[in-house]
Amino acid sequence: MSRPARFLAVLLAAASVASILPPAGLSAQVVRVAPTRPVRFSTTTIDKVAYYNLADLAKYLGLKGAWAAGRKNYTLTGKGPKLEFVLEGDGRKLLVDGLWLHLGNKVVTRGSNLFLSVTDYERTLRGILSAGDAGPLPPVPQVIVLDPGHGGADSGKTQGDLSEKVLTLDVANRLKRLLEGVGYRVVLTRTEDRRLELRDRSDVAVAVGADLFVSIHFNSLDPASNSAEKIAATGGPEIHVFTPAGQRSTDAWSSGEDNIETKSAPVNQHDAWSSLLAHALQKQLVAGLKTTDRGQKTGHWGALRSLDCPGVLVESAFLSNPSEARKVATPEYRDQIAAAMAAGIDAYAKTIKGLRSER
């Protein structure tokens, strides 16, 4: 799409919400997020990556550490979520209150010490573990942009009669009604079956002054490169945030691709809050759908890159999984997806509201 056409599309989207007012009782003031403030203790460089000693972090957070599973796992417990670092495999998996989170750098063992990368703490974990100390707070969400993935000639994933572009718009409309019912102002990046460029999606959010952005998708495995057994066993939601600068995306680790970006994207200034939103959505989706937890991941998603607010991309379910596809085909299950996402967004909003009331 040409620049003039993109600009016109954004203006049209903005015009549809020109009369937006904040929900009753909420301030209209928008406070944009500055980079997080680093903790004040020394770092160690390992393989050109800056790390915190996990013992220092535990003390800082008031947590106690203990080895488990024959020194294959290390847990931190105390006030707040329980952390369980899984050291087998690539050393990048972490359980946060039982929910999977994929780190951008492996946890390193040196003698009796464990080291967590500075980026993983500051950009991903800090918003979940110590949000009150993660820098200037974002606004309590008032305007939420929902992005139904794909559209027009871009059908996304398909499985039988199921088309991702149709499902994403359907879930977005269901979620919109739920959020508006409790006082949020909601804008959709598309309201019909039309194609949008990735940048157009974030441009809508910027144009309307969005406080949150949620891109809605459905997942699938390629039958040409995956066994029937693996396809049948793979299901559940994944929540993606934009990859922090200096790290590889989650999928790049398994593929061996080096897709590190050294410069921060606009959305990276909201990393801590995007991570907090992702964790809240993940918790509600896994519990609400009673499904497999695929975890919080990162990717260089074009729909998120240019955002000026916290943003996530939600892969709601796997259309390639026969059992999950049958559920997704029903309006009742799509209602459940929307309800779980609404609960996650509201939980995030209440956290921010609580933190702002303490300051």
* Claim to verify: residue 188 and residue 109 sit in the same structural domain: no
Structure token pair of residue 94: 């972490």
Q: Which CATH number do you get for residue 215?
A: 3.40.630.40
Measured between alpha carbons, how far is 84 from 250 in angstroms, rounded to an integer? 19
User: Do residues 215 and 147 touch, judged by C-beta distance below 8 A?
Assistant: yes
- Residue range 270-315, pLDDT digits in tens: 999 999 999 999 999 999 999 999 999 999 999 999 999 999 999 9
pLDDT band at 38 (very low <50, low <70, confident <90, very high): low
Query: Same domain, yes or no, for 125 and 143?
Result: no
- Give 170-219 pLDDT, tens digit per residue: 999 999 999 999 999 999 999 999 999 999 999 999 999 999 999 999 99
Residue 196 structure tokens: 């949008």
Residue 12 lies in a domain: no
Q: What are the tokens at 138?
A: 């974002």
Instruction: Tell which of 102, 133, 164 closes a domain.
Output: 133
What's the alpha-carbon Rg for the chain, to the nearest Å? 20
Model pTM score: 0.89
CB 83 within 8 A of CB 63: yes
Q: What is the 3-state secondary structure (H, E, C) of the chain?
A: CCHHHHHHHHHHHHHCCCCCCCCCCCCCCCCCCCCCCCCCCCCEEECCEEEEEHHHHHHHHCEEEEEECCCCEEEEEECCCCEEEECCCCCCEEEECCEEEECCCCCEEECCEEEEEHHHHHHHHHHHHCHHHCCCCCCCCCEEEEEECCECCECCCEECCEEHHHHHHHHHHHHHHHHHHCCCEEEECCCCCCCCCHHHHHHHHHHCCCCEEEEEEEECCCCCCCCHHHHHHCCCCEEEEECCCCCCCHHHHHHCCCCCCCCCCHHHHHHHHHHHHHHHHHHHHHHHHCCCCCCEEEECCHHHHCCCCCEEEEEEEECCCHHHHHHHCCHHHHHHHHHHHHHHHHHHHHHHHHHHHHC
Least trusted range by pLDDT, from 67-76, 186-195, 216-225: 67-76
Residue 28 within a domain: no
Phi-psi region of 89 (alpha: psi -120 to 50; beta: other; left: phi over 0): left
Does one domain contain both 335 and 286?
A: yes
67 and 183 in a single domain? The answer is no
Mark whether 227 and 311 lie in a shared domain.
yes
Asked if 266 contacts 300 with a C-beta cutoff of 8 angstroms, the reply is no
Q: Which of 111, 133, 155 is the last residue of a domain?
A: 133
- Pairing mode, strands 49-53 and 44-46: antiparallel
Cα 152 to Cα 156, 191, 194, 256, 318: the distances in Å are: 10, 11, 4, 33, 21
Q: Which region among 16-20, 120-124, 295-299 has the lowest average model confidence (pLDDT)? A: 16-20
The confidence band for 117, taking pLDDT boundaries of 50, 70 and 90, is very high
Number of structural domains, the chain? 2
Residue 10 is assigned to a structural domain of this protein: no
Range of the domain at 208: 137-358
- Tell me the CATH number at 53: 3.30.457.10
Residue pair 251/106 in contact by the 8 Å Cβ criterion:
no
Tell me the C-alpha distance between 344 and 296, whole Å. 14
> Given this model, what pLDDT does residue 31 score?
34
Q: CA–CA separation, 23 vs 21, rounded Å?
A: 7
Q: In angstroms, rounded to a whole number, what is the distance separating the alpha carbons of residues 284 and 290?
A: 10
pLDDT given for residue 254 in this prediction: 81
Q: Is the dihedral of CA 283, 95, 145, 221 positive or negative?
A: negative
38 within domain boundaries = no
- What is the percentage of the chain residues whose pLDDT exceeds 70? 89
75 & 150 share domain: no
- Give a yes or no: residue 179 inside a domain: yes
Whether 146 and 195 share a structural domain: yes
Q: Would you say 146 and 307 are in contact if contact means Cβ atoms under 8 Å apart?
A: no
Tens digits of residue pLDDT in 136-163:
899 999 999 999 999 999 999 999 999 9
Indicate the residue among 113, 133, 153 that finishes a domain: 133
User: CA nearest 131: which of 350, 283, 315?
Assistant: 350
Q: Is residue 8 part of a domain?
A: no
Is 15 within a domain?
Answer: no
Is 168 among the domain residues? Answer: yes
| CB-based contact 352:137 (threshold 8 Å) | yes
Q: Angle of helix 198-207 relative to helix 3-15, nearest 10 degrees?
A: 40
